[in-house]
Amino acid sequence: MGVDCTLFQQLVDLSARFRPSGRSLMLGRQGFRIEPPFAKSYEKSLRRAGIEEKRFHFVQEDGYSETLFRNLGLGEIETMDYAPYEGPVIQQDLNEPVPKSLHNQFGFIFDGGTIEHVFNVPQALENVYNMLKPGGRFVSANGMNGWVGHGMYQFSPELVWTFWKRKCQCLVHICAGIHKIPGTAKPLNFPDAAETGRRLRLKGKIPEGRMYLHYEVEKTTAKARTGSALQSDYELKWATA
């Protein structure tokens, strides 16, 4: 796991419009190293956000990313992981419910490719929701296309709208497909099928190579709905039948 140039660009953009309140958390201890072929892309993203520091200002000697988050103003980030080998602050199996002592604790949670490796995805997502405090934001980038064999899953935009918007009643600020290689393709912004009235039609629109499903959600004070999360276009059909 690690923050590559593309995810660096997304975090820089986030830092220009959001500052977390309270604790910050990353799922898995994310690494961060400069990718030489894209050196200019790091600098360009910093300049766009009005940040004058050079890319090396965000690197730490051991190759991890706490300095990156701190220097972007995203908090003194803690780490949660299943195993102790990378020194997480919180050792937790996301397949299981997190303890209530962690509920409503974090103003910012970052998942740079962890949940795709967790078998019990619904529980992992509920854990994130429970750990976020109202007003807190969750930023996720997991495999959407081109990552077969990397983790257990690749994800669909429908998961974002169904789980985070309708079940959890969160605000969805971003739901997009972004290419792993900077400059390869423009982001694909995915609308909510419940609002458009039709399922996404993406044939011929997804470029070759590895694509992230990148999304940013904000927890509100509204209570999550009970019961199962149901796919939006089917709900619409059932409601109008």
Q: Residue 93's pLDDT band (boundaries 50, 70, 90)?
A: very high
Total-model pTM: 0.96
Query: Contact, 103 vs 183, CB < 8 A?
Result: no
Q: Residue 83's pLDDT band (boundaries 50, 70, 90)?
A: very high
Tally Cβ neighbours within 10 Å of residue 172.
16
pLDDT of residue 160: 97
Query: Contact, 92 vs 79, CB < 8 A?
Result: no
Minimum mean pLDDT range among 59-73, 134-148, 227-241: 227-241
Tally Cβ neighbours within 10 Å of residue 120.
15
- Which residues lie across from 3 on neighbouring strands? 32
Residue-wise DSSP of 195-221: HHSS----TTTSPSS-EEEEEEEE--S
Which helix (H) or strand (E) segment is 69 a member of?
A: helix 66-71
User: Average model confidence (pLDDT) for the chain?
Assistant: 94
Tally Cβ neighbours within 10 Å of residue 147.
19
Beta strand residue intervals within 51-190, DSSP E: 77-81, 90-91, 106-111, 132-145, 171-179, 188-189
| Residue 144 pLDDT exceeds 80 | yes
CA distances from 110 to 86, 160, 229 (A): 17, 15, 23
pLDDT one-digit tens code per residue, 226-240:
888 888 778 777 877
pLDDT of residue 241: 72
